[in-house]
Every structure is written in structure tokens, then in C-alpha cells.
């Protein structure tokens, strides 16, 4: 009898946190969180300067000054960096503290590189598994987190790559994963690479959301 009760409770508990990819595309009681852009594994390729060849920026300065700038810009200009519109969501919790902490402690020794690392889904899953998500969704029984994991900012080829991840915040299961390209644009180092994030947001809003919906719903 005791074993039966334990089995019932475990089944009930699994339903409580069993978010699915299709929850992203339907009305439900799932709470959605924007976690931010994770730069803790990004590679910086090429000459990082404020304008042309003037004002070179070191990896330390990119981490300490620009990782926060790029994430805070999304919060400061939500109508332009429209995460809600991208996901077709009226309600969204912006909670970037966990990702901001990871970015602040990102190792800089190998951040500057010559080639794009082309991270695999296994790479992404390993990093997502290490996220301290209890800091984010302690009060939410059903929660999905959305994060962009930056792969490379490539000044040489004028492009950036980000991995879109929708994850179950309780189990850390990846529900949807896609690697996306964004072209930088704008004046100044902050706006230039923020432009690549903007392009990825618009790509999801205009094309990827529909293809994901067809695939997962």
C-alpha cells in the first residue's frame, strides 16, 4: 500500500512540472520567464573597437561593461526588443538576475578566438543543466524559461550566433532549441551587437515561431 501511495504522489508531482514544447503555443497556466542573454560561453572573433580601429575593447571590458549593457537594453526598450511579441505572450516575467551573475563570472582566458565554436545541442544541454533555476522560479509550479545563449560575436564575418532555448525551469529539460544567426547593425559597440539580438528576435517573431508551432503543436 505504501508503495502505491508513493507511486501516485510521484505521478501527481510529475504532472505538476510536466511542461511541454506545445505549452509555448497555447493558453495555459504556465508562467513564462525571460532569463536574458547568456554570454558566459561566447567567443569574440575579430577586432572589437568602439568605432573602426579606435578604442579597442578587451575581453574584460566586454564582460564587465557590455554584457550588462546588452541585457539591460532589452529591459529598457521592450517595445523594440519585443520578447513578448516574439513569443505571442501578454504576460512575461523579466528575471535576468541568474544570467547576469553567470555573465559577470564568465572566464575570459579563452573568450577571444579565431573561429566560431559551433556549439551542439549537447553543449547547450550541459550548460542549461548547471543553471541555478531555483533562484528564478521558486514560487512557480509550472514555469518555462526563455534564454538566448550567445555562441559567437564575429566581427570578421559581420554576424553573431545565438541558441534559442525554451526550458522547463523545474526539471531543466530543453523543450525547444534552435541556433539562430543575427547580423549586427548600429553605431557604437553597444548598439552594434545589440542589433544582432534584435535581428534574432525579429527572425523568431516573423518565421521561427510559426515553424516551431507547426512542429511542436
Task: Please tell me the predicted confidence (pLDDT) of residue 56.
Answer: 64
99 in any annotated domain = yes
List beta partners, residue 94: 34
Name which of 125, 100, 131 is nearest 175 in CA terms: 125
- The closest of 164, 139, 136, 137 to 150, measured between CA atoms, is 164
Strand partners, 176: 166
> What is the DSSP annotation of 165-189?
EEEETTT--EEEEEEEEE---SSSH
- What the block records as the C-alpha cell of 148 is 538566448
Count of CB atoms situated within 10 Å of the CB of 62: 23
**8 Å CB contact between 32 and 167:** no
The residues facing 154 across adjacent strands are 45, 159
Cα gap 151→164, rounded to integer Å: 11
- Rounded-to-integer distance, Cα 46 and Cα 49, Å: 9
Residue 31 within any structural domain of the chain: no
Burial of 17 from C-beta contacts in 10 A (0-12 / 13-18 / 19+) = middle
Question: Does residue 133 or residue 55 have the better pLDDT?
Answer: 133
Split into its structural domains, the chain has a count of 1
The reply to whether 184 falls in a domain is yes
Q: In this structure, is residue 204 part of a structural domain?
A: yes
Q: Are 204 and 182 in contact (CB under 8 A)?
A: no
Task: Record the cell numbers describing residue 35, joined without a space.
Answer: 532569463
Q: What is the pLDDT of residue 2?
A: 47
Does 162 map to a domain?
Answer: yes
Residues of the domain holding 157: 44-216
Grid cell locating 39: 554570454
Q: Does pLDDT of 9 surpass 60? A: no
Residue 39: CB atoms within 10 A of its CB come to 28
Q: Check whether 126 has a pLDDT greater than 50.
A: yes
Q: What is the pLDDT of residue 152?
A: 98
**pLDDT grade for 140, boundaries at 50, 70 and 90:** low
Mean pLDDT of 145-174: 96
**Residue 7 falls inside a structural domain:** no
Is residue 141 over pLDDT 70? yes
pLDDT tens digits for range 50-73 = 544 445 678 999 999 999 999 999
H/E stretch holding 144 reads: strand 143-154
**Residue 142, pLDDT above cutoff 90:** no
Range from 10-19, 115-124, 186-195 that averages highest in pLDDT: 115-124
Q: Is residue 152 part of a domain?
A: yes
Could you tell me if residue 72 is inside a domain?
yes
Amino acid at each position: 500500500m505504501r508503495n502505491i501511495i508513493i507511486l501516485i504522489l510521484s505521478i501527481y508531482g510529475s504532472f505538476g512540472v510536466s511542461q511541454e514544447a506545445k505549452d509555448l503555443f497555447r493558453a495555459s497556466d504556465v508562467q513564462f520567464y525571460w532569463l536574458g542573454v547568456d554570454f558566459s560561453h561566447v567567443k569574440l572573433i575579430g577586432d572589437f573597437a568602439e568605432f573602426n580601429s579606435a578604442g579597442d575593447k578587451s575581453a574584460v571590458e566586454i564582460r564587465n561593461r557590455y554584457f550588462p549593457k546588452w541585457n539591460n537594453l532589452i529591459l529598457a526598450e521592450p517595445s523594440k526588443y519585443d520578447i513578448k511579441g516574439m513569443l505571442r505572450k501578454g504576460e512575461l516575467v523579466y528575471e535576468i538576475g541568474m544570467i547576469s551573475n553567470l555573465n559577470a563570472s564568465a572566464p575570459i582566458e579563452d573568450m577571444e578566438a579565431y573561429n566560431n565554436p559551433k556549439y551542439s545541442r549537447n553543449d547547450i544541454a550541459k550548460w542549461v543543466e548547471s543553471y541555478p533555476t531555483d533562484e528564478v522560479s521558486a514560487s512557480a509550479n509550472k514555469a518555462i524559461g526563455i534564454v538566448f545563449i550567445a555562441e559567437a560575436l564575429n566581427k570578421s564575418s559581420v554576424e553573431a550566433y545565438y541558441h534559442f532555448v525554451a526550458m522547463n525551469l523545474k526539471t531543466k529539460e530543453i523543450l525547444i532549441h534552435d541556433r539562430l544567426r543575427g547580423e549586427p547593425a548600429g553605431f557604437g559597440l553597444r548598439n552594434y551587437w545589440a542589433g544582432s539580438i534584435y535581428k534574432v528576435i525579429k527572425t523568431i517573431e516573423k518565421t521561427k515561431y510559426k515553424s516551431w508551432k507547426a512542429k511542436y503543436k
